[in-house]
Amino acid sequence: MTSAKQDSGSGREAVKVGVLTMVAVIVIIVLAYQFVGPPPPKQLLMATGTAGGAYQEFGERYAEILQRSEVELELLQTAGALQNIEELRAGRADIALVQGGTSPDDVGDFAKGLASVYYEPLWIFLRAGLELTQLSELRGARVEVGAEGSGTRAVALDMLALNGIDADSASLLGSSASDAAEAVLAGEVEAAFFVTGTQSQLVGRLMSEEGVSVRLFDIERHLAYERTYSYLAHVVLAEGVLDFERNIPNREIDMVAPAAFLLARADLHQALTPLFLSAAEEVHGDGSTLVAPHVFPSPKKLDAPLAAAADEYFRNGPSFLYRVFPFPVAATLDRLKIMLLPLLTLLIPLFRVAPPLLRWRIRRKVFKWYKILERIEREFELDPTEKADRIHELVEVEREVINTVDVPASYMEELHNLRMHVARVRERIAGQPNQV
């Protein structure tokens, strides 16, 4: 019975100390949480491109993948890369697919690059019978360079400028891509520039006439262009890669290609960066007719500063949290890790204090009776005539100690010493002669 009472008493003390400790922990966590950033948004807007275009198709695949992580990606159809950049600048879009060579000089002020994701080759088709080896030979020619504000126009003008061709030395036309294709097929212009993927229907139509109505220009100085414009890369259109049966093209062709890349608002929540890069690996990682697998996504050939979170991803891969946990859980833990160091700094001393605090509360039950014992002895010394009263008090103390003081077995020595001291004081006072 006594043992059960002792266990109950020590248990109550442990509970009290535990409650105090937990209250302190909760207060510390609440205070530390004030310094934790906001959670990542669950809804995002991605600027893509025209309906049926490559940007729109890729955007739909990104939306499907992000949905698995409980992030809703809404797609905004636009006229293309340049409008996408303006949507980011205005804060109307969170992320966009953008073509290399189209970013303004101040792009780093409002946006950061996450990764280049695939190459969009530059196709230069010449009308049949036109033999030239350098773009500088287009002086005085009629050239379709892409519609005003298009990504094609931005790259075409860069390439022509290197060769001394501008609006004063040639007739630079800005028709739509489909109209430009018909113009070069009909021989109405000497050359037409297009920036588009190998799966484009427009490219398929032109390449079916390659060697008949048009000729695809082979860029011999591809290395020079690549070194001059960092957003350009040399790619090879392999013989037969577009159509093995008809052997299209019928030769290897050197081309240059800007990279399409993911451009995000500068304030995009950093937890979303590994989510988009992981999605990019799934969408673009298998390679294409122009590149081998696992080339994309890449931190290279970006037309904007690389985001810090993207740089970390490419250096070290996804963090442990994002590899092990679902995105919502990983994002929460990632935010809370900022609390870890200050929390440990405060909690370690707190948990070190808890055991001594528990010991002090248990021993206090014993030691408080020594003050009473000291008072009784002092009062007897001052007035020995009250011997009977002092003995009665000591008997009450002894009874109270036996009935109310419950401590764990590890503290029984202090309790027995107390009872022994009470008995000794009572015996000493009782052995004193009566005072008259």
User: pLDDT per residue over 107-127, tens digit each?
Assistant: 999 999 999 999 999 999 999
**Separation CA 125–CA 127 (nearest Å):** 7
User: What was the pLDDT predicted at 344?
Assistant: 65
Residues with Cβ within 8 Å of 26's Cβ and at least 6 positions away in sequence, in order, are: none
Of residues 246, 305, 248, 275, the one with CA closest to residue 113 = 305
Record the tokens describing residue 96, joined without a space: 């966009």
Lowest mean pLDDT among 28-32, 138-142, 326-330: 28-32
Record the tokens describing residue 436, joined without a space: 């008259």
Residue 370 has pLDDT above 50, yes or no: yes
Q: How far is CA 408 from the centre of its chain?
A: 51
Residue 135 has pLDDT above 60, yes or no: yes
Give me the sign of the Cα torsion angle 275, 277, 279, 281. negative
Q: How confident is the model at residue 204 (pLDDT cuts 50, 70, 90)?
A: very high
**Beta-ladder partners of 96:** 47, 263
Q: What is the DSSP letter of 306?
A: B
Instruction: Report the greatest alpha carbon distance in the chain.
Output: 144
**What is the H or E stretch that residue 34 is in?**
none
Residue 302 has pLDDT above 70, yes or no: yes
User: What was the pLDDT predicted at 369?
Assistant: 74
Relative to beta strand 142-144, strand 171-173 is parallel
Cis peptide before 249 (omega within 30 of 0): yes
Residue 351 has pLDDT above 60, yes or no: yes
8 Å CB contact between 239 and 211: no
**Beta-ladder partners of 45:** 74
Average pLDDT estimate for 199-216: 94
User: What was the pLDDT predicted at 347?
Assistant: 63
User: What was the pLDDT predicted at 408?
Assistant: 66
8 Å CB contact between 116 and 166: no
pTM score of the predicted model = 0.70
Residue 161 has pLDDT above 80, yes or no: yes
Task: Give me the phi and psi of 353, to 5 degrees please.
Answer: -75, -30
**What is the H or E stretch that residue 332 is in?**
helix 327-336
349 vs 106: which has the higher pLDDT: 106
**What is the H or E stretch that residue 96 is in?**
strand 95-99
Record the tokens describing residue 10, joined without a space: 């020590």
Task: Please report where in the chains the tokens 């055991």 appear, as a residue.
Answer: 355
**Separation CA 55–CA 80 (nearest Å):** 8
Of residues 215, 345, 221, 321, the one with CA closest to residue 270 = 321
**Beta-ladder partners of 308:** none
Of residues 91, 111, 93, the one with CA closest to residue 55 = 93
User: What was the pLDDT predicted at 218?
Assistant: 96
Q: Say if residue 102 is exposed, middle or buried (CB neighbours under 10 Å; 0-12, 13-18, 19+).
A: buried
Task: Give me the phi and psi of 197, to 5 degrees please.
Answer: -75, 165
**Separation CA 337–CA 341 (nearest Å):** 8
**Separation CA 104–CA 238 (nearest Å):** 33
User: What was the pLDDT predicted at 5?
Assistant: 47
Average pLDDT estimate for 397-415: 71
Average pLDDT estimate for 304-313: 95
User: What was the pLDDT predicted at 338?
Assistant: 62
Q: How confident is the model at residue 423 (pLDDT cuts 50, 70, 90)?
A: confident
User: What was the pLDDT predicted at 300?
Assistant: 94
pLDDT tens-digit readout, 223-250: 999 999 999 999 999 999 999 999 999 9
Residue 393 has pLDDT above 90, yes or no: no
**Separation CA 195–CA 429 (nearest Å):** 110
Record the tokens describing residue 44, joined without a space: 């995002």
Q: What share of the chain is helix, strand, coil (3-state, %, to 5)?
A: 50, 15, 35
**Average pLDDT for the chain:** 86
Of residues 113, 123, 28, the one with CA closest to residue 298 = 113
Lowest mean pLDDT among 8-12, 251-255, 368-372: 8-12
Residue 92 has pLDDT above 80, yes or no: yes
pLDDT tens-digit readout, 11-70: 565 556 566 667 766 776 666 665 556 788 999 999 998 888 889 999 999 999 999 999
**Separation CA 192–CA 146 (nearest Å):** 8
Which 3 state secondary structure label does DSSP give 99?
A: strand
Give, in degrees to the nearest 5, the angle at Cα 317 between 315 and 318: 135
Average pLDDT estimate for 333-353: 66
User: What was the pLDDT predicted at 395?
Assistant: 81
User: What was the pLDDT predicted at 6?
Assistant: 46
